[in-house]
Structure 1
Amino acid sequence: MASTPPNGQNTLPLFYSSLVPLSSQAHADFGLKTREDLGFTKNTHAIPVTVDEFPVVQRHYPIVFGLGENPAPLALVGLQEGKNLYVGEDNMWEKGQYIPAFVRRHPFMLARLQPNSEELSLCFDEGSGLVTTDAEQKFFNGTETTELTKNILGFCEQFEQAVMRTRAFMDELTKLDLMMDGEVTINREGLDQPAVYRGFRMVSEEKLQALRGDQARKLVQSGLLGLVYAHLFSLSLISPLFERQFAQTGK
């Protein structure tokens, strides 16, 4: 979810195959083709989300946390690796369901052109096929950026700011030692044995309740406690997600 150098092929974010800086010199005649579907998301079951999205995401998908040293919040759109249950055979996202900003941002993102640089540049995924010379919506009018480019840059800047807020939230959860390995057991009539879903992290309600008074007040005053409960409430959607999976795959 974080910014990535264009030459960091091995560390590119989900959905990105390459990154190229957008410039008026190299892309004077380029523009953006209209995206016709979201098929590029159909082979993933977990999509990064920011804390800014928690209030709406919690109504649509379970919010869990990834594994590793720098875990990110993830919206579960499936329970099987490589299967998005919300993208149909037509490669369209199911109507009425929230599409995470991480998906809507593609094929653009802000990235550092040099690893040690603090400056972020607007880049695009060259492999997306959406940035071409035959697109009607152009990025530049001479050397000036068009409204299209300004809007894209504004969206990516807002997303990057939300990423920073998300990192601060995750740092606070780590500092308070609130995380635990997650496990959900689903009992369904007709199954020989319960379905068990693991491989994620979640907030421990027991640890949350054991916080000191000053720690709890800090969470409340910062607004982070609401985010924690949005995450916890969203976990109730794992069972409906399993039912969706069962309806589509029979397992």
Structure 2
Amino acid sequence: MSEHVVISREQHAHSAWLPVSGYQHAAAQMAVPVAFAELSHLLGNFVLGFIKQGDTFQLVALLGIEQGKNLYVHPENGRWIGDYVPAALRGRPFTLGKPQASGDGATTQDPVLCIEKQALTDLETPAAEPLFDTQGERPELTGKAAESLSFLHQRHQGLIATQQVTNALANVGLITQWPAVVNTTEGPRRLAGFYAISESALKNLDADALSHLHHQQALPVAYAQLLSTARLKGLGQRVDMFARLTAHQEVPEDLDSVLGSYGDDEELSFDFDR
């Protein structure tokens, strides 16, 4: 696991960072948390579901059917194989950390920007980008570091809002255990530990409950999850394709056209609309 350090003006005003390429860091993720703002991009690319965390549920996109294997990351080169990269997997090597106590003992309310320690370097390193603009009286984050902070805060707020929506769905009894099955050439594979919207419970909600979910903007999430189950077939196809890849059997040269791709030469932006 990568070690992160908090970025500060005092310590890193003259530091730089090296961009990270590929998604090998996500190669073992079976599911990833997603936000309401991503629904339009997620729906055509992923199966959506819920996982239980304590007494609450979290909306996730399924990336595989077993722990330790992400079917959207190429096993040989770490390239993303899909049309959309969930926001939770973008922003590396930056992330948000817990609020920090200041010198007078006060604690900031907002999460702070952190960076993977191994990505830090000096300004003379080729291809490195500065963390701060030091032209003014006070160093300020610059370039993609500043964009990262904005994006990560946006994603953080999006996940909070999505959790409120998910809670609303759970509170009216719509989230239930999901006996999902993915069909592969090796036979059916059952997904364990995931939850889904109960279509029958949704149909039987009374007018007051429906009105409440409407005002909570929860109905789009419910319908998106139900519609996304059509992607289970595609998930099975990915299982079969990855079995061939790892066995070094012949696979289509245009693998991206079969499974979808996120272009290597297309720069990732810190925006939910990508």
Shift of the 200–179 alpha-carbon distance from structure 1 to 2, 3 Å rule, reads same
Number of aligned residue pairs: give it: 231
Alignment of 1:58-77 (within 5 A): 58-69=43-54, 70-77=56-63
State whether residues 65 and 72 of structure 1, in contact with CA within 8 Å, keep that contact through their aligned partners in structure 2: yes
Which residue matches 1:119? 110
State whether residues 139 and 145 of structure 1, in contact with CA within 8 Å, keep that contact through their aligned partners in structure 2: yes
Alignment of 1:167-246 (within 5 A): 167-186=163-182, 191=187, 194-246=188-240
Aligned partner letter, 1:130: A
State whether residues 57 and 167 of structure 2, in contact with CA within 8 Å, keep that contact through their aligned partners in structure 1: no
Residue segments in structure 1 that go unaligned for 5+ positions in a row: 1-15
Residue segments in structure 2 that go unaligned for 5+ positions in a row: 102-106, 245-274
CA distance in 1, matches of 2:217, 2:7: 37
Shift of the 40–187 alpha-carbon distance from structure 1 to 2, 3 Å rule, reads closer
Deviation at 1:107, TM superposition (A): 2.5
State whether residues 7 and 114 of structure 2, in contact with CA within 8 Å, keep that contact through their aligned partners in structure 1: yes
1:104 aligns with 2:90: yes
1:18 aligns with 2:6: no
Q: State the SS of the aligned residue for 1:71.
A: strand
Deviation at 1:60, TM superposition (A): 0.2
Q: State the SS of the aligned residue for 1:25.
A: helix
Which residue matches 2:121? 132
CA distance in 1, matches of 2:215, 2:100: 37
Q: Give a deviation string over 1:102-147, Cα, whole Å, max 9, x none.
A: 1102332233235975232112232xx3232235310112223223
Shift of the 150–68 alpha-carbon distance from structure 1 to 2, 3 Å rule, reads closer
Identical pairs, percent: 27
Q: Give a deviation string over 1:195-244, Cα, whole Å, max 9, x none.
A: 32222011111111121101112223443211211111111111220122
Deviates further, 197-206 or 144-153: 144-153
Q: State the SS of the aligned residue for 1:67.
A: strand
1:92 aligns with 2:84: no
Q: Of the candidates 8, 14, 23, which is equivalent to residue 29 of structure 1?
A: 14
Deviation at 1:186, TM superposition (A): 4.3
State whether residues 78 and 85 of structure 1, in contact with CA within 8 Å, keep that contact through their aligned partners in structure 2: yes
Q: Give a deviation string over 1:15-48, Cα, whole Å, max 9, x none.
A: x633321011111222231222211111112111
Shift of the 149–196 alpha-carbon distance from structure 1 to 2, 3 Å rule, reads closer
CA distance in 2, matches of 1:149, 1:190: 45
Aligned partner letter, 1:72: Q
CA distance in 2, matches of 1:189, 1:246: 7
TM-score (structure 2 length as normaliser) = 0.76
TM-score (structure 1 length as normaliser) = 0.83
CA distance in 2, matches of 1:109, 1:231: 27
Q: State the SS of the aligned residue for 1:110.
A: strand
Which residue matches 2:147? 151
State whether residues 169 and 213 of structure 2, in contact with CA within 8 Å, keep that contact through their aligned partners in structure 1: no
State whether residues 54 and 231 of structure 1, in contact with CA within 8 Å, keep that contact through their aligned partners in structure 2: no
Deviation at 1:187, TM superposition (A): 5.1
Deviation at 1:101, TM superposition (A): 0.6
CA distance in 1, matches of 2:184, 2:133: 59
Deviation at 1:51, TM superposition (A): 1.4
Shift of the 25–59 alpha-carbon distance from structure 1 to 2, 3 Å rule, reads same
